[in-house]
Amino acid sequence: MKNSEDVQKELQELSPFLAKLKEKQTSLEVPENYFQALPDQIWEQIKLMPQPEQAKSQLGWWNRLLTGLQILLQPRVAIGLTTFVVLLVAGIFILKPDSSSDSKGLLAGLSGEEVTAYMSENLHEFDTDLLIEAASTYPDWSFLSGSEFNEEEIDQLLDEVLKDLDDETLEELL
């Protein structure tokens, strides 16, 4: 106790105002049932406040559309939609039906004479190796029957092709 009396005297000497405040200080007490009644009082005050008008219900269709577009243009949503569209387009290209099956049906309707006529007119467009490979499937040269070449011309053409072939390709063919 002596210590607290010494502190009190020192406080009185240094600041008489603070010493008087300490003497007058009373304890704070909360009124009875204050915290139980507080939520009801707050709700009553909220109910008495003026309500803002519903702005969205008065917006025209144009403003609603612009608001929707602003939501879609937010970075997260825009990136998500872009990713979805890219995956959708990729899926369509990957899963689309193969068009080569249609071309096989078209080629099946062509006669041998039509194919031979087309090949003889467009011979310069075909790869030599591809022609040699195709000819090897017909060892009797039946694919040239009905063409405008006679046997001498065919022999001349074969000789020219053989001259153009290098040794490695010639060995592979034989």
- State pLDDT tens for residues 114-137: 877 887 787 777 777 777 777 666
Task: State how far the Cα of 164 lies from the Cα of 28, in Å rounded to an integer.
Answer: 113
| Residue-level pLDDT at 143 | 53
Higher pLDDT, 70 or 168: 70
Task: State how far the Cα of 18 lies from the Cα of 8, in Å rounded to an integer.
Answer: 10
- State pLDDT tens for residues 82-92: 999 999 999 99
- State pLDDT tens for residues 146-163: 556 677 877 787 788 777
pTM of the model: 0.26
Q: How do the domains of the chain map onto residue ranges?
A: 61-95, 108-173
- 151: Cα within 13 Å, side-chain hemisphere: 1
Task: State how far the Cα of 148 lies from the Cα of 117, in Å rounded to an integer.
Answer: 9
| Mean pLDDT of the residues in the chain | 77
**Which residue is listed with tokens 């190796």?**
129
